[in-house]
């Protein structure tokens, strides 16, 4: 390539043009020179604007078109493939995806969606589209005001429910605010000519939309319904609707774990993997009534709490802790009642500690009833405080939902069942469509690495798996290339493998590199996650050398300590260092944000 003449860079006119303008300049007045300057500036700016307009048109034409194939016998799949090639040939940016693989919970992000769908049975969608169908017709479905769509239904007119699946999707899309590009087309067995006409009309309609609107217009379609941001907090909680409340442990499990989903689509709430959700719960009505009855207090008696005059029933239901017994509660109750048995327990610290752990508050007053006033009762009860649970979903995966994994605290004493306050409320009291008050508790110390190429090791037991479900969902949606290794421990394989099918899908997909599970009661000798870690000592050390971040989530008093001891042994053995140096090495990992714990 020849070097450019520096003269040409300073003077972009050739000699003839320069000579002409010199002559013109010598014959012009100052006013004429100013006018010429403005004239040439306007001319140049007009061309620049035309260039910008061309770019905007190009961007509009680059709007991604999603084609979903929902096939029963293969016809919808073949037509979807043909449409994808046809749009590509006409310079349309599109993607083709099978309904089974479609991340339907992100459908509100679509701008143009084409659904080619067959019908089976009595008007039902094909098997591969059932998850999408159930989501769209459910209360979980988001507003689709930003969506343009078209549906091509395949069916057989000899059946009563001709193209019914396409009709259901069409009606539901419009109910959710979407705009059809064309009227839905219901095709019979001989569909070739119909498809050709439809695909051509579809292309024209897409061109009309893209040529008349820039990309900004798509996003502005819902500007009138934008929700103002609300700052929810512990003192100002949001109110969400329960979408799902499902037990996910087996029938014979000795654990009761619930998967709970909360609708947040109209709340403008954001959260990140690693964050927690704070739940403001209510005490069980039967528990409240029993306590009031044991103290011989009138349900409608008025009391004052936080400068509000309310009934004692409301106070016990919404404002004080009733399920966790404490040493101070036992001491105060013993002092007020002068109960000799309780006073003897209180006099011995060890006895008092064991009594508190083994005896719920309501059992204590059942065993040692005494008539006391509402004022005396409220004087030693603690204020009700929210319970925090690790969020078990990524907002990238479920933009309009928050998921929780709740282990129900349960004690059985003398054939009586005593439930934890928050876990009992969430698992037993809340049904689908009920509301719950909550807030987001950020946890910046338990975050995925900013570099998505880094490997991560996640170690958990029981419901400690919750944040790692959100981690894997996030890594999946981010397209992260970093390796992922999960250690998970629980009681029994058949009863307590939380989210088993999801993990198997991620393993099949290649997102989870390693997953080691251990079941403490499935063999004669109990096994735990730390045992499985020691079995994989060399590979764990190799991952650490590669820059892996280690995460632990579970019980603080035992699990977390045992896992940390196993890590120290692994570091000491493979790093050829004594335990003191291994401890310093692990502490350096912590300081460098490569060793993170979320324990409770």
Tell me: is residue 157 an annotated ligand-binding position.
yes
Tell me: is residue 517 an annotated ligand-binding position.
no
Tell me: is residue 395 an annotated ligand-binding position.
no
What pLDDT sits at residue 100? 84
Q: How far apart are CA 201 and CA 181, in angstroms?
A: 9
**pLDDT > 90? residue 454:** yes
CB-based contact 83:71 (threshold 8 Å): no
What pLDDT sits at residue 7? 39
**pLDDT > 60? residue 148:** yes
Tell me: is residue 155 an annotated ligand-binding position.
yes
What pLDDT sits at residue 13? 60
**pLDDT > 60? residue 53:** no
Where do we find the tokens 């907090």? 233
Q: How far apart are CA 388 and CA 391, in angstroms?
A: 9
Tell me: is residue 530 an annotated ligand-binding position.
yes
Tell me: is residue 160 an annotated ligand-binding position.
yes
Q: Helices 192-212 and 75-89: crossing angle, nearest 10°?
A: 40
Tell me: is residue 599 an annotated ligand-binding position.
no
**pLDDT > 70? residue 530:** yes
pLDDT mean over 322-327:
92
- For the ranges 44-48, 196-200, 356-360, the lowest mean pLDDT is seen at 44-48
Question: How many helices (H) and strands (E) in the chain?
Answer: 23, 21
Tell me: is residue 407 an annotated ligand-binding position.
yes
Tell me: is residue 278 an annotated ligand-binding position.
no
Tell me: is residue 333 an annotated ligand-binding position.
no
What pLDDT sits at residue 222? 38
- For the ranges 55-59, 242-246, 318-322, the lowest mean pLDDT is seen at 55-59
Tell me: is residue 72 an annotated ligand-binding position.
yes
Where do we find the tokens 């239904």? 153
Q: How far apart are CA 28 and CA 33, in angstroms?
A: 6
pTM: 0.71
Percent of the chain clearing pLDDT 70 (strictly above): 87
pLDDT one-digit tens code per residue, 248-261: 999 999 999 999 99
| DSSP annotation string for 261-325 | EEE-TTTT----TT-EEEEE----HHHHHHHHHHTT--TT-EEEETTEEEEHHHHHHHTB--S--
Tell me: is residue 118 an annotated ligand-binding position.
yes
Tell me: is residue 421 an annotated ligand-binding position.
yes
**pLDDT > 50? residue 5:** no
Confidence band of 224 (pLDDT split at 50, 70, 90): very low
Contacts for 105 with CB less than 8 Å, ≥ 6 apart: 135, 140, 397, 398, 399, 400, 401
CB-based contact 496:461 (threshold 8 Å): no
Tell me: is residue 529 an annotated ligand-binding position.
yes
pLDDT mean over 204-222:
64
Chain-wide mean pLDDT for the chain?
Answer: 87
Confidence band of 49 (pLDDT split at 50, 70, 90): very low
What pLDDT sits at residue 600? 82
182 secondary structure, DSSP code: S
Tell me: is residue 528 an annotated ligand-binding position.
yes
pLDDT one-digit tens code per residue, 156-179: 887 778 999 999 999 999 999 999
Tell me: is residue 388 an annotated ligand-binding position.
yes
**Own/partner pairs, 350-355, CB within 8 angstroms, 24+ separation:** 352/327, 353/327, 355/330
Tell me: is residue 565 an annotated ligand-binding position.
no
Tell me: is residue 390 an annotated ligand-binding position.
yes
Q: Nearest 5°: CA angle at 532, between 529 and 537?
A: 120
Tell me: is residue 78 an annotated ligand-binding position.
no
What pLDDT sits at residue 129? 86
Confidence band of 120 (pLDDT split at 50, 70, 90): confident
Q: How far apart are CA 237 and CA 278, in angstroms?
A: 9
Which among 549, 534, 481 has a CA at the least distance from the CA of 510?
481
Tell me: is residue 249 an annotated ligand-binding position.
no
Q: How far apart are CA 399 and CA 390, in angstroms?
A: 17
Report how far apart, in Å, the C-alpha atoms of 311 and of each of 361, 378, 430, 585 are: 21, 12, 23, 57
**pLDDT > 90? residue 20:** no
Tell me: is residue 119 an annotated ligand-binding position.
yes
Residue 260 tokens read as 């709970």
Tell me: is residue 159 an annotated ligand-binding position.
yes
What pLDDT sits at residue 290? 95
Q: How far apart are CA 169 and CA 115, in angstroms?
A: 9
What pLDDT sits at residue 124? 84
**pLDDT > 50? residue 507:** yes
Q: Nearest 5°: CA angle at 556, between 579 and 527?
A: 75
Tell me: is residue 405 an annotated ligand-binding position.
yes
Tell me: is residue 422 an annotated ligand-binding position.
yes
Q: Is 563 helix (H, G, I), strand (E, B) or coil?
A: helix
Tell me: is residue 387 an annotated ligand-binding position.
yes
Contacts for 107 with CB less than 8 Å, ≥ 6 apart: 113, 136, 142, 144, 147
Tell me: is residue 172 an annotated ligand-binding position.
no
pLDDT mean over 80-95:
93
Tell me: is residue 591 an annotated ligand-binding position.
no
Q: How far apart are CA 56 and CA 34, in angstroms?
A: 33
**pLDDT > 60? residue 48:** no
Tell me: is residue 120 an annotated ligand-binding position.
yes
Other CB atoms within a 10 A radius of the CB of residue 154 amount to 27
Tell me: is residue 489 an annotated ligand-binding position.
no
Tell me: is residue 54 an annotated ligand-binding position.
no
pLDDT one-digit tens code per residue, 91-106: 999 999 999 888 888 8
Tell me: is residue 429 an annotated ligand-binding position.
no
């Amino acid at each position: 390539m020849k070097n450019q003449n520096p003269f040409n860079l300073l003077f972009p006119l050739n000699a003839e043009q320069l000579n002409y303008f010199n002559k013109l300049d010598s014959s012009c007045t100052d006013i004429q020179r100013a006018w010429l300057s403005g004239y040439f500036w306007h001319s140049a700016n007009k061309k620049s604007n035309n260039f910008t307009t061309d770019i905007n048109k190009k961007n509009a034409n680059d709007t991604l078109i999603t084609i979903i194939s929902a096939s029963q016998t293969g016809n919808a799949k073949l037509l979807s493939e043909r449409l994808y090639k046809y749009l590509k040939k006409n310079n349309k940016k599109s993607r083709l995806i099978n309904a089974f693989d479609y991340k339907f919970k992100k459908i509100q992000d679509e701008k143009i969606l084409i659904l080619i769908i067959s019908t089976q049975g009595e008007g039902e969608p094909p098997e591969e589209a059932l998850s999408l169908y159930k989501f769209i017709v459910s209360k979980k479905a988001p507003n689709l005001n930003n969506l343009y769509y078209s549906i091509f239904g395949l069916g057989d007119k000899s059946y009563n429910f001709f193209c019914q699946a396409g009709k259901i999707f069409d009606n539901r899309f419009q109910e959710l605010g979407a705009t059809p590009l064309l009227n839905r087309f219901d095709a019979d067995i001989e569909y070739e000519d119909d498809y050709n006409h439809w695909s051509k009309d579809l292309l024209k309609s897409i061109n009309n939309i893209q040529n008349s609107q820039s990309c900004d217009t798509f996003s502005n379609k819902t500007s009138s319904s934008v929700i103002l941001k609300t700052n929810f907090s512990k003192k100002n909680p949001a109110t969400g609707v329960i979408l799902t409340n499902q037990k996910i442990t087996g029938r014979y499990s000795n654990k009761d774990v619930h998967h709970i989903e909360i609708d947040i689509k109209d709340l403008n709430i954001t959260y990140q993997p690693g964050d927690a959700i704070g739940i403001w719960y209510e005490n069980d009505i039967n528990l409240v009534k029993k306590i009031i009855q044991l103290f011989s207090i009138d349900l409608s008696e008025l009391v004052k709490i936080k400068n509000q005059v309310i009934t004692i029933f409301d106070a016990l239901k919404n404002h004080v802790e009733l399920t966790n017994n404490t040493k101070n509660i036992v001491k105060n109750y013993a002092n007020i009642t002068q109960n000799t048995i309780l006073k003897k327990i209180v006099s011995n610290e060890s006895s008092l500690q064991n009594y508190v752990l083994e005896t719920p508050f309501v059992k204590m007053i059942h065993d040692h009833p005494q008539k006391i006033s509402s004022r005396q009762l409220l004087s030693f009860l603690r204020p009700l405080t929210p319970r925090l649970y690790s969020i078990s979903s990524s907002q990238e995966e479920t933009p309009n939902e928050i998921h929780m994994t709740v282990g129900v605290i349960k004690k059985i004493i003398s054939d009586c069942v005593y439930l934890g306050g928050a876990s009992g409320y969430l698992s037993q009291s809340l049904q689908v469509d009920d509301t719950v008050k909550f807030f987001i508790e950020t946890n910046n110390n338990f975050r995925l690495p900013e570099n998505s190429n880094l490997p991560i090791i996640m170690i958990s037991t029981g419901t400690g798996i919750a944040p790692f479900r959100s981690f894997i969902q996030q890594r999946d949606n981010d397209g992260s290339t970093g390796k992922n290794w999960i250690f998970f421990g629980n009681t029994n394989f058949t009863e307590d493998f939380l989210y088993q099918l999801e993990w198997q899908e991620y393993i099949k997909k290649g997102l989870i590199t390693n997953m080691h599970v251990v079941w403490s009661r499935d063999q004669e000798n109990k096994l735990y996650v730390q045992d499985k870690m020691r079995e994989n000592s060399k590979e764990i050390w190799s991952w650490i050398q590669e820059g892996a971040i280690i995460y632990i989530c579970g019980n603080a008093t035992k699990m977390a300590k045992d896992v940390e001891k196993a890590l120290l042994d692994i570091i000491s053995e493979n790093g050829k260092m004594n335990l003191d140096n291994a401890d310093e090495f692990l502490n350096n990992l912590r300081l460098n944000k490569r060793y993170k714990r979320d324990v409770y």
